[in-house]
Amino acid sequence: MPTKGSRVWVLRPSEGWRRGTVAGAEGGGGLRVLLDCDQLGEAAGPEITVSAAAVEPANPVLLDGVRDLTHLSYLNEPGILHVLRQRYSGDAVYTMAGPVLVAVNPFKPLPLYGAAAARLYSQRSLGSQAAAAVGEEGWEPHVFLTADRAFKQMVAFQQSQSVLITGESGAGKTETTKIVMRYLAQLAGGTGMEDRVLETNPILEAFGNAKTIHNNNSSRFGKLIEIYFNRSHSICGALIHTYLLEKSRVVHQQPDERSYHIFYQLCRGATEEERRRYLLPASLEEFAYLSGSGCTHIPGVDDAAEFQRVKAAMAAVGISPEQQGELFAVLAAVLWLGNVQFVPLHDDAVTVDGASMPAVAAAAALLQCEQGALLAALTTRQMVAGGEQITRELGMEAALDNRDALSKAIYAAAFRWLVDRINAALTVGARRGETTTLSILDIYGFECFKENSFEQLCINFANERLQQQARHSSGFSKHMFRLEQEVYESESIDWAHVEFVDNQECVDLIEARPPAGVGILSLLDEECMMPKGSDSTFAAKLQQQQAAHPRFSYNTRAPGDDFTIQHYAGPVVYSCTKFLDKNRDTLSKDLVALLQASSAPLVQLLAAEMERGQERRGSQTVGARFRDQLRDLIQRLDATALHFVRCIKPNSQQVAGSFDAPLILHQLRCCGVLEVARIARAGYPTRYLHAEFAARYKHLLPELGPGPLPVGVSVLDVCRQVLAHFGVDESQYQIGRTRLFFRAGVLGHLEDVAARMQHAALLIQSTWRMARCRRAFLAARAAAVTVQAHWRGRRGRQEFAELLRRHRAAVRIQAAARGCAQRKRYRRALAGVMAIQMAWRRHVLQERAAGRLQERRKREDSLRAVAEAKRQEQETFEAVQRDFGVDAGEIRRVLGLWQEHSEAFMQWRQQPPAAQLPARSASSQPPAADDSGLLLEIAAASADAQQQQQRMEGLQIYAHKLERTVDDLREENQLLRRALHTLQAKAEAVGDPAAAAAAAAVLATSAGTQKRRPSHAADAAAHVSLSTGSPAGSSGLPPRPPAFAIAADGTSRPGSGSTGRPGSARPSPLAVPGSGDCSDDGSDSISLMSLNDGDDDSVATGTATPTAASLAAQRNDAAMVVRSLERDLNKKQSLFDDDADFIREVRTGQAEAPGMHPDVEFKRLLMRYKDWKKQFRDRLGSTQKVLKQLAKDEKRAAGLGISVGGSLRRSPTPSMRPLSPSLGGVPALARTGSQEGAGGALGGTGSSSGKHSIFARFGTRRG
C-alpha cells in the first residue's frame, strides 16, 4: 500500500498512465493522488481519488533513462513504458530487457551504424558479454551488441547461434536484419563472400516485399539466413530458407497497398530498349494487377533507381544479363496476363474478350508460346474420364481463377528459381561439417487487416510458435520455459516463481492433429479432400467442432463464413472465403504443359519445377507444408543458442518522433517483455555443471593450474575455491546437486580475469616463440647477408670490368666520331665562308660596275638631252622664222617679254571682252603703252601656235594607235605561230607529212611578214616625235600639257605629261573605240574633252555664253559617245563570254590546250574583267558629268533665248572640229586612239603576250 508522498503511476482511461504523488488515503482503500503536469513532475496538477488497485509504484527519476529494464526498482508496465519513451525522445532506440534487445523503430536515419560504432563493439572481450548484457560495463544497448555477443559466443564455444528478430509489421525487422548482416560482414569479412551475402538484400526485398497499410516495406515471406563461418571464423558462405510466399498479392491487393516492388521497379526503371523488349506500356496504370488497389507510388521511394540497384545486385550474385532479361520478360508476361478479360458465351463457357487480344498476344510473345494454345489453356481444361480425354469449357469464375492461378504459379516458381540461384552463389566452398553457423530469422510480423484470409492465418500461426519459443527460451540454455521450474526444483534451488500466460492453447487450436485433437489446419485439409467441400461447409464444420474452445469464437446470432481467434497479440477475425482454393494451390496440367512447350529456357525450367513440385507434394496441402516447414524451423532454432531482438512500432502513421503509448504497451504485452525482464531478474540464467565450471576456471587458482585435479580434491571443492577466491556474493549464485546457477552478469568478473590470464599466457607464449624464431631468423639473415655480400661483390667486380672495357671503347668511338663531325663542320664552314666571300666580292664588283655604268649613262643621257633640246629649239626657231618670218633674235626678245608680262596678260585674258578693250577715258592709260601692240602680236602668234600644237597632238595620237596596232598584230602573230608549231608537232606525231609541210610553209611566210612590219611603226613614231616639242616648247610660250596626255591617263590634271609609249599610257575614260585601222565596224573613235587654256575654267563654271551651233555640236558629239560606249560594252561582253566558254571546255575535257591551267586562266580573265569594269565605270561617270554640263548649257541658252534645233545625231565626219568660240579656243572633240587603244583599257594595260595566251587557244582575234 503506497504511503503519503510516494511516487506512483495512475491509470487514466482516456490518458493512459499518469505519474503523480500520493497525497493521502481515503476510506474504503482509496488514495488521493496529486497528478504531475509534465513528465518531470516539476509542476502540480489536479488531485484525484483512485482505488489502490489502479496505482503502480513509480521508479526514482534517476532511473528514467536506465539502459536495462531489469535494473528498475519497480518492474511494471508504466515503468517500462516511461523508460522507453525517455530513451526514444533522445534517439536511444535500443533498450535491454535482460537478454532481449528492445528496438523501437525511429522511422528516420540515425548516426548509430557507422564504421566507428562497429569497431567499438567489435573490440569487446568475450568475458564482458554477460556484464554488457545488463549494462554493468557501460556498453550502450545496440543491435551491434547482440550481433557481437552471438558471434563471439559462436567463436568461444564452437556452437551455432541464432538471432530471432520479431515484431509486428512495420516495426523494423527487415532493416534490423540488414544491420546485423552488415556488422557480421565487417566483423568476419575478408573472403569476399560477405559482399555477396549483403547483395542478396536488395534482390529479396524487391521480389518478396510489398507495401501494406502498416508498412511500406513489409516482408511477404519469411526467411532464415544461415551464414557459414570457416575455421578462421570468416564468412565462407550462406544459405537462405524461405517460408510461405504470399502469392495472392500478385493478383489482388487491398486498398492502399501495392504488389511486390519488382513490378513497379521494372515498369519505371526500364530503359527504352528494355521497354520495347518487354512490351511495357507508357504507364503502369494500364496493368490491372498493379492499378486495382489505387496505390502505385510510395512517398520517398525512387522505383527507377531501385531497379538499377536490383540489377547490379543480381549481377553480383552471378545472374547474367541474359538470365535477367528472361526473368524480367516472365514478370512482364505475368502483368499482361492480368489484363486478359473474358466474356461469356453461355452459362458454362467463356471466351477471351476481343479488347484483351493484345494482352494475350503480348503474354504469348513474352512466354514464347503459341497464342492459340494460351487461349485454349485459359478457357478450357483437359480431363481424362474412362480412358478418354475430354475438353471441358470453363465458366467465368473458373476462367478468372485459372488465369490468376497461372500468374501466381509463374511468379512463385520464378521466386524459388531466384532463391536457388542465390543459394548456389552463396554456398560455394561452404561445407557444413567443418563450419559453424549464425542464423538470422526475419519473418513476417503479426497481422490484422480489415480482411484476413488464409495467408494471415498462417502468418499469425508462425508468430504464435515463435512467441512460444521466445517465452520458453529467454535467457536460458534450455529452450522450454516449463522445464525451467522443474530444473530449479530438481536442483533444490530457491527461486521466485514467475507466472506467465502460455499460448499453447492457441497453437493447439491451429495445428492440433488426431488423436490429440483436430485443429483448424487439419480440419481444412480434411475438407479439401471432400469432393463437394466448399468454404461454407468448412466454416460450418469449424464452428461446430471448435465452438467450445476458449480461443475460438464466431457470431452466433448470424453464423457465416467468419470466425475469430484470440491470439497472443489480440483477436483476429478471419474470412473462410477461398480458404480451400488457397490451401489446395492446384495448377491445371494444361497450364504446365503450355509452359513446357515454350521456347524460352527459363520458362521451361519454371514449368519443370512446377511439375516436380506437384509430384513431390502429391496430396499435401499448403497448410500442411507450412506446418512442417515451421516445425523444421523450430528444430533448427532449438539446436542453436538464441538471441532475441524485439522490434517495436512506435506509431501507426510511420512518422518520426511520435510515441503512441497504448500501441507500444500493446506490443510489449504481446511479446512478453515484462515477463522476460522479471524472469531475467528473478532467475539464474547462467548455469554450469560442476565439472564444466571447474574445468573452465580452475586454472585461475594459483595452487591448481592446468592439468588433472590432485588426488582427494573434488570438483565441487574446486568450484567453491574459485568462488571464494574471487569473492562472489553468495546471493548471486546457488549450488545445486549437479549444477551451479548464477544470476545475470555475475560471471563477468571471472570471465574478465580468465580472459586477461589467457591473454597474458598467450602473450608470454607468443613472446617466447617470437624470441626463438627471431634468433633463428637473425642467424639465417646474417648468413644470407654474408653470402649475398660476397656474391654481389663478385658480380659487381665483373660488371665494373665489363663497364670499364665498354667505357674505353665508347671513348674511342666518341673521339673518332667527334673528330669526323668536326672535320665535316670545318669543311662546310670553309666552303660557306669562301662562297660568302666570293658572293660579296662579286656583289661589290657588280655595284661598282653598275655605278660606273649608271654614271656613264647619266652623262650620255644628259648630253643627248642637251643636244636634243638645242636641236628642237633650233628647229622651233627655224619653223617659226619660216612660218612667221620672224628672226631668232625677235623670238628671244618676245620670250623675255612673255616671262615679264605673262601674269598680267593672263589676268587680262580672264576679263570680259568688253573690259579687254582699252578705255577711251583720257585719264585711263594702259600700262606699258609701248608694248601694247607687241602683246597683241604675241596673242595672235599664240593662237596660231595652239592650232599647230593641236595638229601635232593629233598626229602623235595617230602614231600611238599605229604602235599599239603593230604590237597587237605582233602578239597575234606569235600566238598563231605557236598554234602552227603545235599543229606541226601533232601532224608529225600522227605521221601526216603533208599537214606538217603546210604548217612549216605558213610559219616561213609569217616570219618574212613579221620582219617588215616594225619599220612602218618606227617610221610613224619617228614622224610624230619630230612633230612634238620638248617640255619647254619651241614656240616660246609657257609649257602646257598636250591634249593627248589628258586623254591618255584619264584625268584632268593640267600640266601632266606623258611618256608617249603605248604600253604605258592609259586611255581616257571617255575614249570610246569606234573607228580606226583595226576597227571592226568602220566607225571613228571619239572623246569628249573639257579642256581650257591655262586657268580658263569657263566650261567648268558655265560663265561663257553658249551659242546654238556649239550646243548642237556638243549634243551630236554626246550622242556619238553614248553609241560608242554601247558598242564597246556589247563587244567586250562577247569577248569575255568566249573566253569563259573556252576555259570551261578545257576544264571539262571538251578541248585541248597544252600548257594551260584552266583555274589560273580563269583568275586572269576575272582580273581583266574587274579592271575593265572599273575603267568603264569611270568613263561612264565622266560622260555623265559632260552630259550634265551640256544640259546646263542648254538650259542657260534657253534662258538667253537661243534656240537649239535638231536632235542628237552622229557627226557625218569624225575629223577634227574647228575651234569653238564658246570654249575659248580649245577643241571640243579630239581623236583618242583606235579600237586597240580602247581594248587596252578594257582588257589590261600594255601588250604583254603573257596576258593574252588564251586567245591563241580560242583562235579569235583580241578586241
Binding residues: 167-174
Q: What string of DSSP letters covers 1011-1046?
A: HHHHHHHHHHHHHHHHHS--TT-TTSSPP---HHHH
Tell me if residue 1246 is catalytic: no
873 labelled catalytic: no
3-state secondary structure of 713: coil
Enumerate residues 6+ apart whose C-beta is below 8 A from 60: 7, 73
Selecting among 135, 222, 269, 445, the annotated active-site residue is: 445
Backbone angles phi, psi at 812, to 5 degrees: -65, -45
CB 217 within 8 A of CB 202: no
Amino acid at 552: F
Residue type, 533: G
Residue 577: which of 452, 461, 407, 462 has the closest Cα?
452
Best CA proximity match to 588, nearest among 789, 392, 856: 392
How far is residue 127 CA from its own chain's centroid?
Answer: 55
Cell of 942: 599664240
In angstroms, the CA 490 to CA 128 distance is 30
| CB contact set of 841 (below 8 Å; sequence gap of 6+) | none
Residues 257/213, Cβ–Cβ less than 8 Å: yes
**Distance between CA atoms of residues 956 and 361, nearest Å:** 105
Tell me, what DSSP letter sits at residue 618?
Answer: T
By the 10 Å C-beta count (0-12 exposed, 13-18 middle, 19+ buried), 393 is classed as middle
Burial 110-139, CB ≥16 within 10 A → b, else e: eebbeeeebebbbebbbbbbbbbbbbbbeb
Close Cβ partners of 1190 (under 8 Å, ≥ 6 residues apart): 1111, 1114, 1115, 1118
How many C-beta atoms lie closer than 10 Å to residue 319's C-beta? 18
Catalytic residue among 59, 105, 174, 453: 174
CA dist list (Å): 1017 to 4, 959, 963 = 154, 8, 6
Cell of 937: 602680236
Using only the alpha carbons of the chain, give its radius of gyration. 64
Where does 275-421 show beta strands of DSSP type E?
A: 342-346, 349-352, 380-385, 388-393
Single out the catalytic residue among 162, 215, 230, 1087.
215
Non-local CB neighbours of 276 within 8 Å, separated by 6+ positions: none
The type of residue at 886 is V
Residue 447 is a catalytic residue? yes
Residue 255 φ/ψ region, left for φ over 0, alpha for ψ in the -120 to 50 degree band, beta for the rest: beta
d(CA 230, CA 436): 7
Question: By three-state DSSP, how is residue 368 classified?
Answer: coil
| Cell numbers representing residue 656 in the block | 518520426
Active-site residue 219, yes or no? yes
Q: Where are the beta strands (DSSP E) in 422-483?
A: 436-442
Give the distance, in angstroms, between the CA of residue 1003 and the centroid of all CA atoms in the same chain: 79
Catalytic residue among 209, 218, 423, 1124: 218
Question: Is-catalytic flag, 555?
Answer: no
Q: Compute CA distances 557 → 296, 554, 560, 1243, whole Å.
A: 40, 9, 9, 125
From the list 895, 321, 247, 1062, the residue with the least C-alpha distance to 586 is: 247
Q: Are strands 342-346 and 349-352 parallel, antiparallel or unpaired?
A: antiparallel
| Marked catalytic residue, from 177, 201, 219, 1116 | 219
- Grid cell, residue 374, equals 494460351
d(CA 1033, CA 876): 8
**Has 215 been annotated as catalytic?**
yes
Instruction: For residues 1203 and 1208, give the distance between their C-alpha atoms in angstroms, rounded to a whole number.
Output: 15
Binding residues for ATP: 167-174
For 598, residues 6+ apart whose C-beta sits below 8 A from its C-beta are 367, 368, 369, 604, 607
Amino acid at 667: Q
Q: Is 429 helix (H, G, I), strand (E, B) or coil?
A: coil
Catalytic residue among 20, 79, 127, 170: 170
Catalytically annotated residue among 257, 326, 447, 1161: 447
Phi and psi angles of residue 537, each rounded to the nearest 5 degrees, phi first: -65, -35
* Residues with catalytic function: 169-170, 174, 215, 218-219, 445, 447
